[in-house]
Amino acid sequence: MTVPHALQRLAAPNPESLAAPPTAQTILAPDGALLEAWDADHVWHAFTQMQEYEPLLIERGEGATLIDTAGNRYLDGSASMWCNVHGHRHPRLDAAAIAQLGRVAHTTNLGLSNPTTVHFAKRLVEVAPLGLDKVFFSDDGSTAIEAALKMAFQFWRQCDPPQPERSTFVAIGEAYHGDTLGAIGVGGVDRFTALFAPLTFSAIRIPSPGMRCLASTPQPSLASHLEHVENIFRQHAKTIAALIVEPIVQAAGGILVHPEGYLRGLRDLTHKYNILLIADEVAVGFGRTGTLFACEQESVTPDFLCLAKGLTAGYLPMAATLTTSRIWNAFLGSHSDRRAFFHGHTYGGNPLAAAVGLESLNIFRDEGVLAQLTEKIRRLQQRLRPLADLKHVGDVRQRGLIAGIELVANKSSGESYDWREQRGMRACHAARKHGAILRPLGDVVAIVPPLCMSPEEIDRLVAAAEAGIREATAEAATGVMGDRLAQTPTA
Ligand SMILES: *Cc1c(COP(=O)(O)O)cnc(C)c1O
């Protein structure tokens, strides 16, 4: 039997002392080591090998800074998993949550409503691309996707005339749409999902046009990517229900940036072949790419717009699937027609989350958040530029306030590191010592600051990332040899 990892680090060498029930005093004021032990022993962390997990407990946040239980401060370089927008403990967001708590925290939206949620839906419609005037609330990015997939599927069964043979989805290679079964059916990051393939439906996949500069073979042109899509549409003209895409940047796939015109091209082709377009803006929505929504950059109104992460500025779990009157109308009828959308989540439309989401939109409006982004995006670009010259940096990709630094074993050949060496993870862990919390995507170090991060903080964040990268790439290969093509099961 192995001693739990966390226990080995405890000052008290006697593991039995921990088996005893905690006293009132340890609950009120447990020391850091005890909390870490409880964390490692009881909390099953997402996308984490618990046998190797090293606890780090964030106790407080202020603006773009996170503070651990020992009082160490870190810049929040992943925006607390790409969702923080205006910073932690923003006075207006805190006040909005508190004011809503004074009314009601939660009531159901199954056949019932709430003024705050109604206001929020109305405001979302006002800021979303024109034509998206129906809002279906759920609670996470994955559920926003599930709702869109099911709505699209049901739409074709209820439209006039019905086209029930339209039941296939087209998805982009290396796409990430969440971890529920429907979402992984259209996902393409195999290292996350291959195991579960037998449980999912299969989508038609088209290669990602995401540019990886280090690829030694020349990239297909935008026109040839779109031609490929059109061929697929032609071939399956009558059986495709919808195409799903992360507009402009595929985040979890490794910060893959699409060529300009790709999204517009997809919209034109989906119109031409009467295929629905689902835009997954869970990661890129709410200013991340420089505009409130990425779709705006190519003047696209999708049939479904999926929002989550930044929807409540990183405060509370909430998601929304926006759609058009055309879709909505196909679900109308008498209850006896059974045309309603039979889908819902217990916390859908939660008023507390809606209150914060609404105030976040007010902050966007009142504090010139988007106008200030231009300068920050340029600053990030300037600071990242020298990193491209590092010996083991194969590529630096950026769009808006989202960037990826790809680490490679050999810069001239573009050869990857053996994934088992976890260079990306090591770089991010090393950056902690330099005051930044970062999260890798394989060997890509992702830089995703809250939009509120100041230019000076961006400087410090990139400096910490660079220090982490230098440290993690200083040593030669650790002697792990074998199949370099195998995929890592960890993020
Ligand atoms: C994070 C993410 C999701 C899933 O959202 P969850 O809230 O984690 O379920 C879906 N799509 C994209 C593009 C994402 O980045």
Distance 339 CA to ligand 1 centre (A): 28
State the Cα–Cα distance between residues 19 and 1, nearest whole angstrom: 16
Closest CA to 468 of 430, 442, 435: 430
The residue type found at 250 is Q
For tokens 């916390």, the residue is: 347
Structure tokens that stand for 209 in this block: 């046009």
Q: What pLDDT is stored for residue 218 in this prediction?
A: 73
Nearest atom, ligand 1, residue 246 CA: 13
For tokens 């006896």, the residue is: 336
Distance 176 CA to ligand 1 centre (A): 7
* 231: enclosing H helix or E strand: helix 222-235
The reported pTM is 0.92
* DSSP conformation letters of 260-320: TTHHHHHHHHHHHTT-EEEEE-TTTTTTTTSSSSGGGGGT---SEEEE-GGGGTTSS--EE
Nearest atom, ligand 1, residue 183 CA: 10
- Burial class from Cβ neighbours inside 10 Å (0-12, 13-18, 19+) for residue 117 reads buried
Handedness of CA 156, 157, 159, 160 (dihedral sign): positive
CATH fold, domain 94-366, is: Aspartate Aminotransferase; domain 2 (3.40.640)
Residue 382 backbone dihedrals phi, psi, to 5 degrees: -60, -45
Beta carbons of 436 and 446 less than 8 angstroms apart: no
Nearest atom, ligand 1, residue 180 CA: 9
Q: Of all protein residues, whose CA lies closest to atom 5 belonging to ligand 1?
A: 141
Structure tokens that stand for 131 in this block: 């034509």
Distance 251 CA to ligand 1 centre (A): 9
Q: Of all protein residues, whose CA lies closest to atom 11 belonging to ligand 1?
A: 177
What region, left, alpha or beta, does residue 313 occupy, with left being phi > 0 and alpha being psi -120 to 50 degrees? left
Q: What pLDDT is stored for residue 14 in this prediction?
A: 45
Q: What 3-state DSSP class applies to 332? A: coil
The residue type found at 175 is A
* DSSP conformation letters of 418-431: PGGG-HHHHHHHHH
- Please identify every stretch of the chain with a pLDDT value under 50, giving residue numbers as ranges: 1-19, 479-491
Residue 450 backbone dihedrals phi, psi, to 5 degrees: -60, 150
Distance 3 CA to ligand 1 centre (A): 35
Q: Could you tell me if the CB of 431 is within 6 A of ligand 1?
A: no
Which of 172, 176, 284 best tests ligand 1's pocket when mutated (most atoms within 8 Å of CB)?
176
Distance 278 CA to ligand 1 centre (A): 14
Q: Could you tell me if the CB of 189 is within 6 A of ligand 1?
A: no
Q: Enumerate the domain spans of the chain.
A: 13-76+373-483, 94-366
State the Cα–Cα distance between residues 57 and 70, nearest whole angstrom: 9
State the Cα–Cα distance between residues 402 and 249, nearest whole angstrom: 9
Q: What 3-state DSSP class applies to 434? A: coil
Please enumerate in sequence order all residues whose Cβ is within 8 A of that of 423, keeping only pairs 6 or more positions apart, or say none. Answer: 392, 407, 417, 443, 472, 473
Q: What is the CATH number of domain 13-76+373-483?
A: 3.90.1150.10
Q: Are strands 304-307 and 276-280 parallel, antiparallel or unpaired?
A: parallel
Beginning with the edge strand found earlier in the chain, give each strand of the sheet holding 73-76 in spatial order: 58-62, 65-68, 73-76, 436-437
Nearest atom, ligand 1, residue 81 CA: 1
Q: What pLDDT is stored for residue 194 in this prediction?
A: 86
Q: What pLDDT is stored for residue 475 in this prediction?
A: 79
Q: Could you tell me if the CB of 252 is within 6 A of ligand 1?
A: yes
Q: Could you tell me if the CB of 439 is within 6 A of ligand 1?
A: no
Provide the CA 309 distance to its chain's centre, in angstroms.
Answer: 7
Q: CB-side exposure of 335: number of CA atoms within 13 Å?
A: 1
Which of 139, 143, 177, 246 best tests ligand 1's pocket when mutated (most atoms within 8 Å of CB)?
177
Q: For the CA atoms of 462, 90, 364, 118, what is the dihedral angle to 10 degrees?
A: 140
Q: Could you tell me if the CB of 175 is within 6 A of ligand 1?
A: no
Q: Could you tell me if the CB of 138 is within 6 A of ligand 1?
A: no
Q: Which residues pair with 415 in a beta bridge?
A: 410
Q: How far apart are the first and last CA of the chain?
A: 28
Q: Could you tell me if the CB of 176 is within 6 A of ligand 1?
A: yes
The residue type found at 50 is M
Q: Could you tell me if the CB of 443 is within 6 A of ligand 1?
A: no
Q: Could you tell me if the CB of 192 is within 6 A of ligand 1?
A: no
Beta carbons of 321 and 305 less than 8 angstroms apart: yes
Nearest atom, ligand 1, residue 308 CA: 7
State the Cα–Cα distance between residues 156 and 166, nearest whole angstrom: 6
Nearest atom, ligand 1, residue 281 CA: 13
Q: Could you tell me if the CB of 251 is within 6 A of ligand 1?
A: yes
Nearest atom, ligand 1, residue 284 CA: 13
State the Cα–Cα distance between residues 359 and 312, nearest whole angstrom: 9
Q: At what angle do helices 351-366 and 115-127 cross, to 10 degrees?
A: 40
Closest CA to 145 of 1, 22, 267, 321: 321
Q: Could you tell me if the CB of 188 is within 6 A of ligand 1?
A: no
Which of 137, 140, 142, 179 best tests ligand 1's pocket when mutated (most atoms within 8 Å of CB)?
142
pLDDT digits (tens, 9 = 90+) for 298-317: 999 999 999 999 999 999 99
Nearest atom, ligand 1, residue 141 CA: 5
